[in-house]
Structure 1
Amino acid sequence: MADENDVLTDLNMDPAAGANGADNRPTVGLLNQYIKDLSVENPNAPKSYQWNEQPRVDVQVNIAAEKVADDVHEVELKVTARADGSQGNLYLVELAYAGLVGIRNVPEDATHAFLFAETPRLLFPFARAIISDAVRDAGFPPLLLDPMDFGALYQQQLQARAAQQGEGAPAPTGNA
């Protein structure tokens, strides 16, 4: 039977633990997700329901990240969906969907990639459903956004940033 000192010695021998017993293993996780802001405009109702032309739909997606506490970041996925016809605007939906991400003992470059590529990938299906429901609730057919490859978008941003820095231009911040 092991005594208390043997148990303490075994815990301190964990290779991931520091000399003082601190946990130094890399850890990331989505702590919470939420609607930060949602706006639905249907400015030409009820006239717009009589329009027969196919609207032009424009969707914009932006990503922002902000450190809110030690080891905690907020990642905000902003999605704007706008449908216009020749007679005017049918709808405008603006969503700011955010998640709190816990990150500890992760190198800065991996942290940046997690915040701007992986976290948006995790948040997007929920934002997509909210946008679809909001458009449907405004009286139009649901808008089904195509899946997005945030990893590829992140790599494109890195390449564009490297090209701009090579030309002496300022680097972009936080958009994908």
Structure 2
Amino acid sequence: MTDTDVAPETNGADTEEPGIRILAQFIRDLSFENPRAPETLRTQSAGQPQIDMGVEMNARGREDGLFEVDLKLSARATREDGPVFHVELLYGGVFQITGVAPADIEPVLLVECPRFLFPFARRVIGDVTSDGGYPPFLLDPIDFAGVYAARKAGGEIQGPAMGNA
């Protein structure tokens, strides 16, 4: 042990710890359609509706070094006798990402950032379906890493930190 502090040699590598900071969250677009209300509200005993879900992620860099990430969730509920409701939400966030190599930024933007946004987007969809007269539609957790991997393998994601997933 010595009495002097010697900094470890970094060989010029960036030693900043990886970090994600959410600077803002917002609803960019929200649509709720209840095309057959109030009739569909009275026939809820007709069984559970069939739900078709959609998930998209999109990210882009900004001139100020921050990143915008959008999470698009959609749900369409139908029964044998027709549509019940359709909700579509585009929920966004502005993120500051530090200590991540440029080659690794894409999965951070399209997997980790949507994980941060999801609970808030889920609540919005639950609230709007409840306000539409239905029991709250609470989305099951989404495997964003699986969605990203499948879309990457399918060639749907192109270019670092950009594109839809």
Whether TM-score is above 0.5 comes out as: yes
Deviation (angstroms), 1:133: 1.0
User: Given the alignment, which residue of 41, 44, 50 partners 2:36?
Assistant: 44
User: Are the aligned partners of 2:20 and 2:97 in contact in 1 as well (CA < 8 Å)?
Assistant: yes
Deviation (angstroms), 1:56: 0.9
Q: Distance in 2 between matches of 1:14 and 1:39?
A: 54
User: Are the aligned partners of 2:74 and 2:87 in contact in 1 as well (CA < 8 Å)?
Assistant: yes
User: Are the aligned partners of 2:35 and 2:85 in contact in 1 as well (CA < 8 Å)?
Assistant: yes
Q: Which residue in the other structure is 2:4 paired with?
A: none
Alignment of 1:96-107 (within 5 A): 96-104=90-98, 106-107=100-101
Structure 1 residue runs without a partner (length 5+):
1-12, 162-170
User: Given the alignment, which residue of 74, 77, 100 partners 1:80?
Assistant: 74
Q: Which residue in the other structure is 2:48 paired with?
A: 54
Q: Distance in 1 between matches of 2:20 and 2:157?
A: 25
Structure 2 residue runs without a partner (length 5+):
1-6
Deviation (angstroms), 1:104: 4.2
Find the residue that maps to 2:140 and give its secondary structure.
coil
Q: Distance in 2 between matches of 1:54 and 1:106?
A: 45
Deviation (angstroms), 1:145: 0.9
Percent sequence identity is: 41
Higher relative contact order (CA 8 A, sep 6+): 2
Moved over 2 A (4+): 13-16, 23-28, 103-106, 151-161, 171-176
Find the residue that maps to 1:142 and give its secondary structure.
coil
Q: Which residue in the other structure is 2:143 paired with?
A: 149
Deviation (angstroms), 1:110: 1.7
**2:122 matches 1:122:** no
* Equivalenced residues, count: 151
User: Are the aligned partners of 2:59 and 2:164 in contact in 1 as well (CA < 8 Å)?
Assistant: no
Which has the larger helix fraction? 1
Q: Distance in 1 between matches of 2:131 and 2:8?
A: 54
CA RMSD of aligned residues (A): 2.4
Find the residue that maps to 1:106 and give its secondary structure.
coil
Cα-to-partner distance string for 1:131-165 (whole Å, 9 max, x where unaligned) = 1111111001111211112123323333444xxxx
**Aligned AA (2:106):** H
Question: What TM-score, normalized to structure 2?
Answer: 0.79
Q: Decide which moves more: 107-116 or 148-157.
A: 148-157
Q: Distance in 1 between matches of 2:39 and 2:9?
A: 68
Q: Looking at CA atoms only, which structure, 1 or 2, has the larger radius of gyration?
A: 1
